[in-house]
Amino acid sequence: MFELPEFVTLSRQFNETLQGKTVLKGTLGNSPHKFVWYNRSHEEFERLIEGKTVGNATARGKWLFVPLEPGYVLLLGECGGKVLFHPPGAKLPKKYHLYITFDDSSFLTATTQMWGAMELYEEGAEQDRQYVKDMRITPIEPEFTFSYFDTLIDDLATGKKRSAKALLTQDQLIPGLGNAIAQDILYHARLSPNHPIDDLDLEQRRALYDAIVHTVAAVIEQGGRYDEFDLYGNRGGYVRLMDKNAVGRPCTGCGGVVEKIQYLGGACYYCPACQG
C-alpha cells in the first residue's frame, strides 16, 4: 500500500507529466470490486470530467488531490497498486479501476490493490471527506515540530495504552505512515514495536521524532519504496532495512539477528538486541 512518500512522489510526477493536459474522457473501472470506493456513477464521472484541465496535484497523508479545472478535484487515497501514466499508443492494462484519456492521446490508469478511494468532488468538498477532514499534522508539514510531537504523546498517554507501532500505524495519529515505513522508523529509533509510548523518556521521544522525520524524508528523496511503483511504472529507490528479507540476517546496527513477530495486525521485523 502507498504511504505518504509514495503519494508525494505521485503528486510530483503528476505535476511533471499531467498538469495542463485536457481530459477527453474519464471512465471508472472495468473490474470493480467492493473495496474500490467510488462516489459517482460511471455516467456522472464521465460527464463531469470531460474537457477539464489537470491542475497542480498535492499530497497529504495517504491522499492525492488532483484538481480537474474548473471546479472539481479527483481524490485518490488509502490505496496501493498502480497509478500509471501511459504515453500515446501504449497498451491499456487488462484491469483498471480508473481510466482517463487526454487530448494528446496519452492516458492514465489506476488499479488499486486491496482497497482505495477514487472519488470526484466539487472543489472544496473533498476537504470534508471522512479522514481528510480534521486530519492531524503530517510529518512533512512545518508544524510537525518536536514540541507538537511531544504534546501528541502526552495527550495519547492519558488515553488507552498504545505501543510505538500503534502510534505509527493506527488511527492516523501521524497521517501518512503505515506498516512498511514504521519498521524502519522503529529501527532507527531503537524501539521495539510493542514498546509502550507512555513510558518514553525525553531522549526516546526525541529519537522517535528524528527517526520519523528523517525516514520519511529519505523515502521521498528516493522516490518511494522499492516495493511500490511510481507513475511511470518504475520501482521506488528506497530499499527497506527491516522487511522480510532482513529476517535471520545480522542487524546492521549491532550484529544481532533480525526477527519477525506478528503484532497488531501485521508482521514486524526488528532486532531484539538493539530495539528495546
Residue 271 binds Zn ion, judged by CB under 5 A? yes
User: Rounded to the nearest whole angstrom, what is the least distance from the CB of residue 17 to Zn ion in the complex?
Assistant: 41
Q: Which is nearer to Zn ion, 23 or 251 (CB)?
A: 251
Query: 147-156: long-range contacts at Cβ-Cβ below 8 A with a sequence spacing of 24 or more?
Result: 149/205, 149/208, 149/209, 149/212, 150/205, 150/209, 153/197, 153/200, 153/205, 156/197, 156/198
Q: Which is nearer to Zn ion, 47 or 249 (CB)?
A: 249
Amino acid at 86: H
Q: Which stretch binds Zn ion (CB under 5 A): 99-107, 128-136, 186-194, 265-273?
A: 265-273
Q: Is 201 left (phi over 0), alpha (psi -120 to 50) or beta?
A: beta
Candidates 251, 268, 269, 270; binder of Zn ion (CB under 5 A) is: 251
User: Rounded to the nearest whole angstrom, what is the least distance from the CB of residue 194 to Zn ion in the complex?
Assistant: 16
Residue whose grid cell is 510531537: 149
Q: Which is nearer to Zn ion, 144 or 269 (CB)?
A: 269
Residue 246 binds Zn ion, judged by CB under 5 A? no
Residue whose grid cell is 530499499: 239
Q: Take residue 34 and report the three cell numbers written for it.
A: 467492493
Candidates 253, 257, 260, 263; binder of Zn ion (CB under 5 A) is: 253
Candidates 24, 135, 218, 274; binder of Zn ion (CB under 5 A) is: 274
User: Rounded to the nearest whole angstrom, what is the least distance from the CB of residue 188 to Zn ion in the complex?
Assistant: 11
Dist. CA 22–CA 18, nearest whole Å: 9
Q: Is 59 helix (H, G, I), strand (E, B) or coil?
A: strand
Candidates 114, 217, 239, 254; binder of Zn ion (CB under 5 A) is: 254
Q: Which is nearer to Zn ion, 95 or 249 (CB)?
A: 249
Residue 256 binds Zn ion, judged by CB under 5 A? yes
Q: How many residues does the chain have?
A: 276
The footprint of Zn ion on this chain (CB under 5 A) covers a number of residues equal to: 7
Q: Which stretch binds Zn ion (CB under 5 A): 74-82, 89-97, 164-172, 256-264?
A: 256-264
In DSSP notation, 61-91 reads TTEEEEEEETTEEEEEES--SEEEEE-TTPP
Residue 266 binds Zn ion, judged by CB under 5 A? no
Residue 247 binds Zn ion, judged by CB under 5 A? no
**How many CB atoms neighbour CB 198 within 10 A?**
13
Per CB under 5 A, which of residues 109..168 are in contact with Zn ion?
Answer: none
Dist. CA 150–CA 162, nearest whole Å: 15
Q: Which stretch binds Zn ion (CB under 5 A): 149-157, 178-186, 220-228, 267-275?
A: 267-275
Interface residues with Zn ion (CB under 5 A) are 251, 253-254, 256, 271, 273-274
